[in-house]
Amino acid sequence: MDYEGYLMTHSLLLLSLFISPLLFAADSTVDAGDTRVDSDRLSATMQHMRTFGENAAGGSDRVAYSEHNLAALGYLAHLMAESGLVAKIDVAGNLVGRREGRIDGLAPIVTGSHIDTVPNGGHYDGIVGVMSAVEVARSLREAGVELDHPLEVIVWSNEEGGKNGSRSFTGAVADREMALPSLGAKTIGEGIAFLGGDPQHLAANIRHAGGISGYIELHVEQGAMLDRDGIAIGVVEGIVGIKRWYITIEGFANHAGTTPMDQRQDALYPAALIIAEVRKIITDEPGRQVGTIGRLDVKPGAPNVIPGEVMFSLEIRDLDMNKVNRLFAMISAAATAIAEANETQISFNQYYESPAAPTDKRIMALVKQSADALGLSNIQMPSGAGHDAQSMKGIAPLGMIFVPSRAGISHAPGEFTGPQQITNGANVLLQTVVAMDRLLR
Amino acid sequence: MDYEGYLMTHSLLLLSLFISPLLFAADSTVDAGDTRVDSDRLSATMQHMRTFGENAAGGSDRVAYSEHNLAALGYLAHLMAESGLVAKIDVAGNLVGRREGRIDGLAPIVTGSHIDTVPNGGHYDGIVGVMSAVEVARSLREAGVELDHPLEVIVWSNEEGGKNGSRSFTGAVADREMALPSLGAKTIGEGIAFLGGDPQHLAANIRHAGGISGYIELHVEQGAMLDRDGIAIGVVEGIVGIKRWYITIEGFANHAGTTPMDQRQDALYPAALIIAEVRKIITDEPGRQVGTIGRLDVKPGAPNVIPGEVMFSLEIRDLDMNKVNRLFAMISAAATAIAEANETQISFNQYYESPAAPTDKRIMALVKQSADALGLSNIQMPSGAGHDAQSMKGIAPLGMIFVPSRAGISHAPGEFTGPQQITNGANVLLQTVVAMDRLLR
């Protein structure tokens, strides 16, 4: 997009924000149990959203802070206005659409997700939750369903590149992040400003505990469990915690021809034993914890040189951080013994931690009840991937609803969830929002 | 070196080639048993050779076909002339210094090595054998020792980058190699021409079986066995054969958070089990075979993605190619079973083979006798590294003499062999040449 195009998109976005959504005033209380989303309309908005950044490979290049991202927000602001929501861009570049509730002073019920994608990503991760949330607001209004709480539909900015949008709600975004590169050409700070935010004043977004009555997010599973077992709805138990380490083994690089086997300090051999041991420790214990070694670098890395140094990643995820820590303690003890037995040095460098975010048991029950009432099969499951929902930890009881991802494919053009599966999820979201409105008063 | 410098070096080299070495005619047969090399002179020539390409790190950048390489050949041609050798550059860029023997029609005894280094290499690998060979020729002449056979001292070109110099003697250099890059800026063909060779007519170098009476090469061990045990001389049993494969395991790359442990097709886990199995198979059997996995690449290689593909090298070396093949058969069977048990695909691609080159038992005995007579401790050992000597397989009975490498360090600035250790090797070389002259008549 050239500069004129940029200005035009910005103008359209601003214009959309000021269209009054209050043409249809909520009037009477009706029973929401029979209310359903408009499946065709939801499919149509999903389809239109593809056009913002679809590439020749059929994937999406709508990375955070891109022109495609901005244009898509313009479209969403328009949809929000049509759906009875007053839209604004907040300081973090989130698009927030709000309608007021019947009782003054209640904190809002919030639902949302994201529309930014990884480069050459898919058309469902995040987008399903956003388009469904807007459709839920529209369906509720059209059915004349009023809520006691205000309802906010939020399109979080930059989920894929750091969750800066949702994290701004707890003040967790550090100043230095503004200078970090995003997945596109801009820094995160430049990107927030580009969307109409104010990167210098992110603190204006902070909501303290109780500042949100409840948070509920619909999302594609990004795994294959629902798809494999033909289950319609995942009742999410929480977003797993993640810890990541780099483990380095130092041996001694030497000539592969002239160094006898019994005189080697081969860094790769103990690394191999440790990889096998990690699998054993992770799987010997009951539960759904996962442990992954996804990166491994060998130095110097020549076929005729004994490896002198091996560095590899270790990632452990579980809903229970104590379990993550206990498993790591077992792994580090075993790894240290293996390294020593092979006359190598080992070191552990933890470089990442994302605490577990359990969902609220009451909201889990509402999600299950909603799915059951709709005749939709459902199971409880953890979310192995991270989501904006986890950013709400500490300020709101939170819940998540999963719908199937075909073959578990995600972050790729092949990502797919069928229209009926999305409609199922949107109807569960609608019923859960209504139920939360009653429960969380 | 600029162009004028280049011309000057070339001129000096050509001039040196035409200085007649025949000022001192060999005259009478003397007993060579007491003949010794001049240790101080040998140290001085070793020291001067450093100056051609020594870098700021103290290492050598005298890579094949470089200006440093050419200038060093000019120096050597001068030394050869002083030593009674008629020098010429052959079609492959080898510098060949020859003196005739007492009996017409005998094929020459050849000794030599190389002076090219890897980038930032050391000052001993190859160089010890070349400087000692020239010193042996000079000492024999000064002592008035005549040989029945002609004696050729050869400085092989491009040992480190393909052994093209020595391999030209059996016609093993393929035309396409001329277009391959060398370790420096030139192609191999350009490099050969730069040294004064004729890359279009390498066939002129071919010597058929019996075209060389015997070949003997002195070299640093490049391993730590002699140094560790305080042994002066290694009596080389042969140059080990080498086979190399790339082994690829294909699994399925997937999200490390959303894919349960029992649904993974992690390519790295079976690779780790195979690495452990390789160590076990190689070391369970008696002998000095070695097996090395020096390179391993993980795709996509991100901490939060389950490895979808792992490619790693496997190298096996032994003096007995049958053993190499048998060990590989055991490894490939075990690896295939491991891959299948983990629902991954495995493939093996052999991309390199260097056949084993056993040394001649008679020459081994002469080396040992020479060392014993000089009071030098010695052991039999294989050469785990490749050498120009192996190129002589099939055209000459061959032998090699090793001297210690401090801590086994090689191909690095820290490479070191002491002056007395070099002198020991040179004296063994001298005595072995004289003994070969008697034996191989």
Chain B positions touching A244 (Cβ under 8 A) are: 303-304
Chain B positions touching A260 (Cβ under 8 A) are: 223, 225, 288, 290
**Average per-residue pLDDT in chain A?**
93
Please give the Cα distance from B94 to B72 (Å, whole number): 12
Q: What is the DSSP letter of B179?
A: G
Chain B positions touching A268 (Cβ under 8 A) are: 275, 293-294, 296
pLDDT of residue B32: 85
Arithmetic mean of pLDDT, B157-172: 96
Residue B60, pLDDT > 60, answer yes
**% of chain B residues with pLDDT over 70:** 93
With cut-offs at 50, 70 and 90, classify the pLDDT of residue A10: low
- What is the maximum span of chain B, computed from C-alpha positions, in angstroms? 87
Helix (H) / strand (E) element for A315: namely strand A309-318
With cut-offs at 50, 70 and 90, classify the pLDDT of residue B307: very high
pLDDT of residue A399: 98
Q: Judge: B255–A222 Cβ closer than 8 Å, yes or no.
A: yes
Arithmetic mean of pLDDT, A25-51: 85
Q: Judge: B258–A307 Cβ closer than 8 Å, yes or no.
A: no
Residue B328 gets the label, from left (phi > 0), alpha (psi -120 to 50) or beta, of alpha
What are the residue boundaries of the structural domains of chain A, listed by start?
3-239+356-439, 241-354
Closest partner residue to A313 (CB to CB) among B260, B296, B303 is: B303
In CATH terms, B241-354 corresponds, of 3.20.20.140, 3.20.20.100, 3.30.70.360, 3.40.50.300, to: 3.30.70.360
Chain B positions touching A254 (Cβ under 8 A) are: 408
**% of chain B residues with pLDDT over 90:** 90
Please give the Cα distance from A104 to B411 (Å, whole number): 79
Q: Judge: B256–A290 Cβ closer than 8 Å, yes or no.
A: yes
pLDDT of residue A145: 95
With cut-offs at 50, 70 and 90, classify the pLDDT of residue A22: very low
Q: What is the pLDDT of residues B406-424, one digit of tens each?
A: 999 998 999 999 999 999 9
Give how far A313 is from chain B: nearest CA, Å: 6
Closest partner residue to A273 (CB to CB) among B223, B260, B276 is: B276
Arithmetic mean of pLDDT, A225-250: 97
Residue (of A50, A150, A26, A46) closest to A426 by Cα position: A46
Arithmetic mean of pLDDT, A47-53: 98
What are the distances in angstroms from CA B38 to CA A235, A441, B135, B218, B369?
87, 101, 7, 16, 21
With cut-offs at 50, 70 and 90, classify the pLDDT of residue B3: very low
Contact A41/A18 with Cβ under 8 angstroms?
no
Arithmetic mean of pLDDT, A12-21: 52
A300: preceding bond cis by omega (within 30 degrees): yes
Alpha-carbon Rg of chain A, whole angstroms?
A: 24
Closest partner residue to B385 (CB to CB) among A258, A384, A408 is: A258
What residue type is assigned to position B25 of the chain? A
pLDDT of residue B31: 75
Q: Judge: A294–B313 Cβ closer than 8 Å, yes or no.
A: no
Residue (of B20, B63, B85, B150) closest to B433 by Cα position: B150
Q: What is the pLDDT of residues B168-201, one digit of tens each?
A: 999 999 999 999 999 999 999 999 999 999 999 9
Closest-approach residue (CA) in chain A for B412? A254
Q: Judge: A268–B296 Cβ closer than 8 Å, yes or no.
A: yes
With cut-offs at 50, 70 and 90, classify the pLDDT of residue B2: very low
Tokens 């975004």, residue? A173
What CATH class has B3-239+356-439?
alpha beta
Closest-approach residue (CA) in chain A for B387? A257
Arithmetic mean of pLDDT, B13-35: 57
pLDDT of residue B10: 61
Residue A29, pLDDT > 70, answer no
ipTM: 0.85
A419: preceding bond cis by omega (within 30 degrees): no
Residues forming beta bridges with residue A306, ordered by sequence position: A254
Contact A289/A323 with Cβ under 8 angstroms?
yes
Q: Judge: B306–A292 Cβ closer than 8 Å, yes or no.
A: yes
> Is this prediction's pTM over 0.90?
no
Residue B325, pLDDT > 90, answer yes
Chain A positions touching B293 (Cβ under 8 A) are: 268, 307
pLDDT of residue B29: 55
Closest partner residue to B258 (CB to CB) among A221, A275, A314 is: A221
C-alpha A234: how far from its chain's center?
A: 15
Q: Judge: B261–A224 Cβ closer than 8 Å, yes or no.
A: no
Residue A294, pLDDT > 70, answer yes
Arithmetic mean of pLDDT, A135-151: 97
pLDDT of residue B441: 79
**Greater confidence, B404 or A32?**
B404
Q: Which residues contact B30 (CB under 8 A, 6 or more apart)?
A: B143, B144, B145
Arithmetic mean of pLDDT, B209-220: 96
Q: What is the pLDDT of residues A365-377, one digit of tens each?
A: 999 999 999 999 9
Please give the Cα distance from A64 to A181 (Å, whole number): 11
Q: What is the pLDDT of residues B98-139, one digit of tens each?
A: 999 999 999 999 999 999 999 999 999 999 999 999 999 999
Q: Judge: A269–B290 Cβ closer than 8 Å, yes or no.
A: no
Q: What is the DSSP letter of A261?
A: G
Tokens 């590439």, residue? A55
pLDDT of residue B26: 42
Arithmetic mean of pLDDT, A131-136: 98
Backbone angles phi and psi of A317, in degrees to 5: -125, 140
Residue A31, pLDDT > 80, answer no
Arithmetic mean of pLDDT, A74-91: 98
Closest partner residue to B384 (CB to CB) among A258, A303, A386 is: A258
Please give the Cα distance from A142 to A123 (Å, whole number): 27
Q: Judge: B295–A298 Cβ closer than 8 Å, yes or no.
A: yes
Chain A positions touching B268 (Cβ under 8 A) are: 275, 293-294, 296
Arithmetic mean of pLDDT, B372-396: 96
Q: Judge: A263–B410 Cβ closer than 8 Å, yes or no.
A: no
